[in-house]
Amino acid sequence: MQALLNAVERDRGGVAVVWCPDLGLRSWLADEVAVLVPSARRPQRVSSLEEALAIPDQLALWLPNNEREAVLDLDGSRDLLRANPPRTQPIVLFLLRNGDGAEALSLEATSLWSITAGSTVDPEELSEIDPEVERGHFRAEQGQTVEEWLQRWRKGELAQTGQNCMVAYKAMLLEAT
Amino acid sequence: MSPWLDLYDQHQKVREGARDKVHALRVVLKDLAEKSILTRECQSRLTSATNKNTRRTDWILKPEPLRIHRLGEIDRKELMVEEAKLTVLLETQEDHIIQMTLMVEAVRRDGKPWNIAVHISEDRIHEKNPNGDQDGLGSCSHALLHCHPDLDHPVEIRVPLPPSRPPCSYNG
């Protein structure tokens, strides 16, 4: 989530791209961005470039119906983003990972691709962990394997503190079941 | 259907719509952060990790300072809590809540601990958890939402509570 926030924060008047695995998660991710940023940024969903340009001082969350058209519109209108009054909040474009928009962005909208290079984020992909690597980290941090720690936890040998509950959740995520 | 089974079914329904509930929790965290009850942008520190093999996801807010005395409806003198921490934990898979823990740990003015927690028990049945979320003794042993007098002693007879409204009904 911090990576998502960083992508939105990076260029206040620019464009950020959020990659979404499917349409259901696209809507949810837009809601998540809206709640991650301070209310003062007044996030608002838009469905066209015109709607986004009409709110230069608000965070525009654009969920396009036609992804390719949206990418090409934005690519051809980059100067408008710097027009008077200049945007003070970015446009966040939500695109499907393997959709028409992704293809258009890499093949047809190379200028937009270059300006959004540091402001693209795939939050679902970023949250993925390799359990074997994390089991190693767990052992280094706790001095015990996941199974050894959980055995003590389940026997009630460890206090029910927030910190221990957190470690228990991490261990259970990595436990081989 | 017996009232207990009916209650169990109602509790089970609370587990569905996990993503919306994570979002609703984040809305509450944001509201508390913007009221300076939680620290700034606390809502962004509810982070996720997905096991790429099992597709199970942890949502974790590490223990965060909670300025409990800023909650208007709580009289600080009566509560006598000096400092508090909030921990939020969920484990989800697809759109299902496997388990959840919300915990406030506080210290009273007299130095004694004052803790409150809500747990939704793990419902995955496996070798280490053969009974799933059914635990304790008595006719209401399956009551997911229950209370017991302290956190460090396993409860044998659960005191059942009705399913509470999910946090999405929070309106500040």
Domain residues of chain B, as ranges?
Answer: 3-169
pLDDT of residue B169: 41
Rank A138-142, B121-125, B126-130 by mean pLDDT and report only the highest: A138-142
Overall residue count recorded for chain A in this entry: 177
Determine the residue among A173, A174, A175 to mutate to test chain B binding: the one whose Cβ has the most chain B Cβ atoms within 10 Å: A173
Whole-angstrom distance, CA of residue B48 vs CA of residue B58: 5
For residue A25, pLDDT over 70 is answered with yes
Q: A163: which chain B residues are within 8 Å (Cβ-Cβ)? A: 62-63, 87
Residue with tokens 């206040």: A12
List the one residue out of A169, A173, A161, A162 whose CA is nearest residue A135: A173
From chain B, which residues contact A within 8 Å (Cβ)? 19-20, 23, 26-27, 30, 34, 41, 43-54, 56-58, 60, 62-63, 85-87, 89, 91, 99, 101, 103, 105, 117, 122, 124, 126-128, 151-152, 154
Check: CB of residue B122 under 8 Å from CB of residue B144: no
For residue B82, pLDDT over 50 is answered with yes
- Decide if A127 and B50 are in contact by the 8 Å CB cutoff: yes
- Residue-range domains of chain A with CATH: 2-126 (3.40.50), 131-174 (no CATH)
Check: CB of residue B114 under 8 Å from CB of residue B150: no
B135 three-class SS? coil
pLDDT of residue B158: 60
- Decide if A127 and B48 are in contact by the 8 Å CB cutoff: yes
Kindly report the average pLDDT of chain A as a whole number: 92
- Decide if A160 and B44 are in contact by the 8 Å CB cutoff: no
Quote the tokens at residue A62.
Answer: 């654009």
Confidence at B167, pLDDT banded by 50, 70, 90: very low
Q: Greater confidence, A15 or B6?
A: A15
For residue B1, pLDDT over 50 is answered with yes
Q: Is A89 exposed, middle or buried (0-12, 13-18, 19+ CB in 10 A)?
A: buried
Kindly report the average pLDDT of chain B as a whole number: 81
pLDDT digits (tens, 9 = 90+) for B47-75: 999 999 999 999 999 999 998 777 765 55
Average pLDDT over every residue of A112-117: 86
Check: CB of residue A117 under 8 Å from CB of residue A16: no
Rank A1-15, A89-103, B65-79, B140-154 by mean pLDDT and report only the highest: A89-103
Rank A9-23, A28-42, B106-120 by mean pLDDT and report only the highest: A28-42
For residue A162, pLDDT over 90 is answered with yes
Lowest-pLDDT range, B11-15, B23-27, B101-105, B146-150?
Answer: B146-150
For residue A154, pLDDT over 70 is answered with yes
For residue B151, pLDDT over 80 is answered with no
- Number of CB pairs, chain A paired with chain B, less than 8 A apart: 105
Average pLDDT over every residue of A4-13: 80
Q: Which residues sit opposite B103 in a β-bridge?
A: B87, B117
- Decide if B127 and A177 are in contact by the 8 Å CB cutoff: yes
Which residue in A1, A124, A163 is closest to B63 by CB distance? A163
Q: Exposed e or buried b for every residue in B57-66, given b needs 16+ CB within 10 A?
A: bbbbbebbeb
Confidence at B115, pLDDT banded by 50, 70, 90: confident
- Decide if A162 and B105 are in contact by the 8 Å CB cutoff: yes
For residue B163, pLDDT over 80 is answered with no
For residue B140, pLDDT over 80 is answered with no
* A143 part of contact set with chain B, CB < 8 Å: no
For residue A79, pLDDT over 70 is answered with yes
Q: Greater confidence, B57 or A10?
A: B57
Q: A160: which chain B residues are within 8 Å (Cβ-Cβ)? A: 117, 151-152
pLDDT of residue B171: 46
CA distance A53 to chain B (A): 27
Average pLDDT over every residue of B33-40: 93
pLDDT of residue B109: 79
- Decide if A162 and B91 are in contact by the 8 Å CB cutoff: no
For residue A67, pLDDT over 80 is answered with yes
* A128 part of contact set with chain B, CB < 8 Å: yes
For residue B159, pLDDT over 70 is answered with no
pLDDT of residue B114: 83
